Chains A and B, each alone.
Chain A
Amino acid sequence: MVKAGVVCLAAAVWIPGVAIAQDNSPDITVETGGKLLLTRGISTIEGQGGGGLTPWATITGNETDRGIGGVAHMTAVDLPDYSFLSYGAAVGLFDRFELSYTRQEFDTEDVGTALGLGQGFTFAQDVWGAKVRFAGDAIYDQDIWMPQIALGANWKTNSQSAVISVMGGADDAGWETYASATKLFLDSSLLLNGTLRWTNANQTGLLGYGGNLNDDHELMGEFSAGWMLAPDIIVGAEYRMKPDNLAIAKENDWLDLYAAWAINHTVTLTGAYVDLGSIATFEKQRGVYLSLQAGF
């Protein structure tokens, strides 16, 4: 599984070479690159361009309105009772459209034994995402308040249908939609993002969609702030509201404190402290998040 992530990262580094070769062809002009450092965002644990836990209105990849770009990411979160891994790839088209796929694996380690699922029982989820930037320019519209606005949707499928059912979850697949507004307040080096997500996913869908407490989609607010310390470094915090649909497993809102470093236009490293609250009856899941994103 990890091997697949490495292949994705390798592809992201390799593809620019192909694209540049195409630039020399008289018939095909595929422009790549051109975004300012860090402005493609990083990859969320669900694969969208943005922050670590919540998407932004930015479009992934280094491309501008004249080209294409892409990224691959691998993200690991180490918690007291669980470990989480996600990896995937996304493309950005003309700084307008974003398509993403990410695989998530949630390893229950010893909890698996305690819950009678077996040692190291793993929930896996596939997340397919699409996002369209509708209006605004988060970076350059510095003389007006209008943020950059994007709409997105995700289709998610979970590998553990039977267990989700036993836990009180309603479905092993689900969709969600969201709207994001992102604005860089350059005169104070501050980036703000707000996202409204219409969802019924339990723990982003790792524990299924809908449940015995509530099966309906609800509107959840997600917020992130970042303070630019240098052209290649941003630090900040994120907050993500979450549904609470399962009677046996209370779910909390998420919080993180992060630092992201664009080593260059290709690779961005992000580290964070995350507080994911209660997950599948095990409380205080606080730990370390590390993410590597490579793209063109």
Chain B
Amino acid sequence: MRISVLAVAAVLGLATPAFAQSSSQSPAPHPEEEAVDPYTISNDNAGARPFAGKEMLAAFHGQEGIGRIVDDLVERVQVDKRTSEIFHASDFVRLRRTLKEQFCYILNGGCDYTGRDMAKVHEDHGIITAEFNALVELLQQSMANEGVAFGAQNRFLAKLAPMKRETVTR
């Protein structure tokens, strides 16, 4: 994946010495997704440092479990009246991919996060605290549905919680 990113970036002439970090190029094209403005790819965009060890990944049933949780969550946010407006115009293909990457990265599942940072992703959504809390409840339901133990759910939520500062904008 990284090789193809570098190749594309090189072709487009975007890799400048000033940004010559290992993964600081424009996103790789995903033809099935809507285009987004160029941004710098970095795992720092994930908004949290990953767990050490593989205990949390196992609690979430590996990458397959994370995939099921994200798919379930993306279904729930479209159905729930409290959150459906936020995701009204979302690119669900991209949302699923970047959410899976983000969760997998934080749970130390061997993934890199290639999405935008939390402030950028949410800047135009005007999310309020009640909506953010609704998202938390839906994620709890998705994790419970996957059979993730409550203690492991909370350890994960503790990593996500500070993202409220960048996500809730009004």
Interface string of A111-150 (1 = CB under 8 A from B): 0000000000000000000000000010111110000000
> Which residues of B (44-58) have their CB < 8 Å from a CB of A?
none
- Complex Cα gap A142–B140 (Å): 17
- Which residues of the other chain, B, contact A141 by a CB distance below 8 angstroms? 161-162
Q: Which of B130, B140, B161 contacts A139 (CB 8 A)?
A: B161
Interface string of A229-250 (1 = CB under 8 A from B): 1110000000000000000000
Question: Does A64 make an interface contact (CB < 8 A)?
Answer: yes
Report whether B161 and A228 are in contact in the complex, using a CB–CB cutoff of 8 Å.
no
What residue of chain A has the Cβ atom nearest to residue B48's Cβ? A143
- Complex Cα gap A33–B82 (Å): 11
Question: Does B150 make an interface contact (CB < 8 A)?
Answer: yes
Report whether A142 and B158 are in contact in the complex, using a CB–CB cutoff of 8 Å.
yes
- Which residues of the other chain, B, contact A67 by a CB distance below 8 angstroms? 130
Question: Does B97 make an interface contact (CB < 8 A)?
Answer: no
The distance from the CB of B169 to the nearest CB of chain A, in whole angstroms, is: 12
Question: Does A34 make an interface contact (CB < 8 A)?
Answer: yes
B interface, size bucket: 20 to 34
- Which residues of the other chain, A, contact B35 by a CB distance below 8 angstroms? none
Question: Does B129 make an interface contact (CB < 8 A)?
Answer: yes
Question: Does A23 make an interface contact (CB < 8 A)?
Answer: no
Question: Does A22 make an interface contact (CB < 8 A)?
Answer: no
Q: In the complex where A35-B133, A231-B137, A231-B140 touch, is A140 in contact with B161 (Cβ < 8 A)? A: yes
Q: In the complex where A141-B162, A186-B161 touch, is A228 in contact with B130 (Cβ < 8 A)? A: no
Report whether A229 and B150 are in contact in the complex, using a CB–CB cutoff of 8 Å.
yes
- Complex Cα gap A30–B165 (Å): 23
Q: In the complex where A33-B130, A34-B130, A34-B133 touch, is A228 in contact with B154 (Cβ < 8 A)? A: yes
- Which residues of the other chain, B, contact A37 by a CB distance below 8 angstroms? 137
> Which residues of B (20-60) have their CB < 8 Å from a CB of A?
none
- Complex Cα gap A228–B140 (Å): 14
Q: Which of A34, A186, A188, A230 contacts B129 (CB 8 A)?
A: A34
The distance from the CB of A67 to the nearest CB of chain B, in whole angstroms, is: 8
Report whether B129 and A228 are in contact in the complex, using a CB–CB cutoff of 8 Å.
no
> Which residues of A (156-199) have their CB < 8 Å from a CB of B?
186-189
The distance from the CB of A190 to the nearest CB of chain B, in whole angstroms, is: 9
What residue of chain B has the Cβ atom nearest to residue A65's Cβ? B129
Number of interface residues of A (CB under 8 A): 25
Report whether A186 and B154 are in contact in the complex, using a CB–CB cutoff of 8 Å.
yes
Q: In the complex where A31-B130, A33-B130, A65-B129 touch, is A142 in contact with B161 (Cβ < 8 A)? A: yes
Question: Does B157 make an interface contact (CB < 8 A)?
Answer: yes
- Complex Cα gap A137–B136 (Å): 16
Question: Does B155 make an interface contact (CB < 8 A)?
Answer: yes
- Which residues of the other chain, A, contact B157 by a CB distance below 8 angstroms? 142, 186
Report whether B137 and A36 are in contact in the complex, using a CB–CB cutoff of 8 Å.
yes
The distance from the CB of A183 to the nearest CB of chain B, in whole angstroms, is: 12
Report whether B154 and A187 are in contact in the complex, using a CB–CB cutoff of 8 Å.
yes
- Which residues of the other chain, B, contact A231 by a CB distance below 8 angstroms? 137, 140, 150
Interface string of A205-242 (1 = CB under 8 A from B): 00000000000000000000000111100000000000
Report whether A140 and B164 are in contact in the complex, using a CB–CB cutoff of 8 Å.
yes
Report whether B155 and A187 are in contact in the complex, using a CB–CB cutoff of 8 Å.
yes
Interface string of A243-284 (1 = CB under 8 A from B): 000000000000000000000000000000000000000000
Chain B positions near chain A (C-beta within 8 angstroms): 128-131, 133-134, 136-137, 140, 150-151, 154-155, 157-159, 161-162, 164-165
25 A-B pairs with CB atoms under 8 Å apart are: A34-B131, A35-B133, A36-B136, A64-B129, A64-B133, A65-B129, A66-B130, A95-B129, A139-B161, A140-B161, A140-B164, A140-B165, A142-B159, A142-B161, A142-B162, A143-B162, A186-B158, A186-B161, A187-B154, A189-B151, A228-B150, A228-B154, A230-B150, A231-B137, A231-B150
List of 5 A-B pairs having minimum Cβ-Cβ separation, nearest first: A34-B130, A186-B158, A64-B129, A142-B161, A187-B158
Beyond A64-B130, A189-B150, 12 additional pairs, beta carbon < 8 A: A34-B128, A36-B137, A66-B129, A137-B164, A140-B162, A141-B161, A142-B157, A142-B162, A186-B157, A189-B151, A228-B154, A231-B140
